[in-house]
Structure 1
Amino acid sequence: MIITVMFIAEIVVVILLYAAPNTIQDAILDVLYESLKNYNGLGNFDTTTLGWMFFMKEMNCCGVYGYWDFSMTHSDDWRKPGLVSTKLDAPIICCVKEPLSPSKADTSCARKETFDIHTQGCFGAVWDVIMGNSLYTGIVFSVAFVFQLLLIIFSCILIARNKDKSKLAGACRWIRIGSHCLVCVVENA
């Protein structure tokens, strides 16, 4: 029952994704902004920071909509990574060409006066990849739906078989064989 409800919910989400994308986008943006608040920058190994750094590096993007999104983080650790003494205006990972070491000279790409950072936000970059290739997205969703449908069918078959076997449960006399093995011996009624 639960699997069927989840399956139907996923169908609704996919329909909303194409019919009313703003509904899905708003929900995703809320989650992204909440996670960005916990970004700590280079030298930190928490999952949120590592996740953001991975996406920004792989997608050549910065923040949700841009570097200014980092002004809402709970920590300013990203502003002074390593030996940097003056605050950065954007995380180093947003730089088009990453500095070799975190020194003042090497981090000029992350300062407003000499910005050389990715200007596209990560939300737009990921959304473009997902929705820009609607054929591939449709194929992936279709394969996932067929797989889940097969899981539902096989679950129903297993439940039906177990119900038949449970009718014998009352007629079982359990015999211990060895120290760990129990065997059901059906007694004739």
Structure 2
Amino acid sequence: MGALTFVGRIVLVVLNIIFILTSLALIIGGFILKFGNEVLRPRIESVLDDIENAAQSVYSDSSFNLDDFDYSALVSDLAIAMICVGFALLAVSFLGCFSACCNISTLALVYAIILIALFLGQVVLIILIYASPDTFKTHLNSKLVDSIDKYEGLRGTTTTSMGWNFAMQQYSCCGANNYADFENRGTWKTSSTDGVNNLTPTTCCKTLPSDTSGKSACAGDATDTSYDTTAEIESLSNLNNGCTDALWKSVINDQNAKYIPVIKFCLGAQLALIIFAILIFKDRGITGGLI
């Protein structure tokens, strides 16, 4: 066995153990997101309390509460994606570790082919995210706009309603593009949860109101044509800040400093794994192994 191949096997084992641990973290994190509502709730408790207090004050409804709100349902799709990715990464990492430990050249080749496909896919995805973000933002925006059809307003307790209320307060935004997305969509007006005459949902307010007059001041009056409503409430409302851009900025742009080193490490590690896996396969004539 060549010295380089021996070193390669060690590198393969070490890096794949790291990826196995990473995959386990993804799987555990996914299960926590999916089923650990009580674990996650304290992280969003302050926002939920603000929404609950505002609803009780504005509508004099002391019975309204969000105790039964299931945050896990809101991130269910993300949780499932994390679990699936985790198991896929676990399988690939185990394959690479096993092929290196047992020096099975055929498995090393299969592992290298899988990694090459994954590596190219990741490169394309990264290029699209950073060079052509509108490709993803357009899809995200479309999904957000469609979900407004199920929006019930400040006192809505459905997953969609609570998701919007939380997002608009957490990210200081209103609608997917702006407040106009809510016009003639959802039941937030017809069910009188936010008031028939409001221009925007109450949670578009920068600070949630404590009474009816405060709600009118920041949510506007869509029926009053005596003045420019949007200009009147702009200082009190996030009505022109779209949640699509706010989410993208918070999740992608503002996290670049954290993402880029991780991306560089993962891509560099994968390149090393591909090279050493191919070396193990090429060395099969010296060391034997399955062909």
Whether 1:32 and 2:144 are equivalent positions in the alignment is yes
Kindly provide the CA deviation profile for residues 15-50 of structure 1, in whole angstroms up to 9, marking residues without a partner as x: 210122221121111111112222111111111111
Unaligned runs of 5+ in 1: 150-189
The match for 1:134 is: 256
Cα displacement (A) at 1:111: 0.9
Q: Equivalents in 1 of 2:255, 2:136: separation in Å? A: 17
2:152 touches 2:193 (CA, 8 Å); kept in 1? Answer: no
Summarize the Cα distance change of 1:66–1:27 in structure 2 as closer, same or farther, 3 Å threshold: same
2:214 to 101, 106, 111: 106
Q: Equivalents in 2 of 1:41, 1:140: separation in Å? A: 39
Cα displacement (A) at 1:7: 7.5
The match for 2:237 is: 117
Cα displacement (A) at 1:106: 2.7
Q: Equivalents in 1 of 2:168, 2:260: separation in Å? A: 25
1:62 touches 1:94 (CA, 8 Å); kept in 2? Answer: yes
2:150 touches 2:161 (CA, 8 Å); kept in 1? Answer: yes
1:54-93 matches, within 5 Å, as 54-77=166-189, 80-81=192-193, 84=195, 86-93=196-203
Cα displacement (A) at 1:140: 5.5
1:42 touches 1:78 (CA, 8 Å); kept in 2? Answer: no
2:151 touches 2:161 (CA, 8 Å); kept in 1? Answer: yes
1:44 to 156, 164, 169: 156
1:41 touches 1:91 (CA, 8 Å); kept in 2? Answer: yes
Q: Equivalents in 1 of 2:220, 2:256: separation in Å? A: 37
Q: Equivalents in 1 of 2:262, 2:126: separation in Å? A: 11
Give the TM-score taking structure 2 as reference length: 0.42
The match for 2:207 is: 97
1:41 touches 1:78 (CA, 8 Å); kept in 2? Answer: no
Give the TM-score taking structure 1 as reference length: 0.61
The match for 1:157 is: none
More helix by share: 2
What is the number of equivalent residue pairs in this alignment? 144
Q: Which amino acid aligns with 1:100?
A: S
Q: Equivalents in 1 of 2:172, 2:165: separation in Å? A: 10
Cα displacement (A) at 1:137: 2.9
Percent of counterpart pairs with the same letter? 27
Q: Which amino acid aligns with 1:117?
A: S
The higher radius of gyration belongs to: 1
The match for 1:183 is: none
Kindly provide the CA deviation profile for residues 118-148 of structure 1, in whole angstroms up to 9, marking residues without a partner as x: 13111121222222442223346568x58xx
Unaligned runs of 5+ in 2: 1-87, 90-113, 222-228, 271-291
Greater relative CO (CA pairs within 8 A, separation 6+): 2
More strand by share: 1
1:20 to 132, 155, 166: 132
Q: Equivalents in 1 of 2:128, 2:135: separation in Å? A: 7
Summarize the Cα distance change of 1:80–1:10 in structure 2 as closer, same or farther, 3 Å threshold: farther
The match for 1:163 is: none
Q: Equivalents in 2 of 1:140, 1:90: separation in Å? A: 40
Summarize the Cα distance change of 1:43–1:7 in structure 2 as closer, same or farther, 3 Å threshold: farther
Cα displacement (A) at 1:65: 1.6
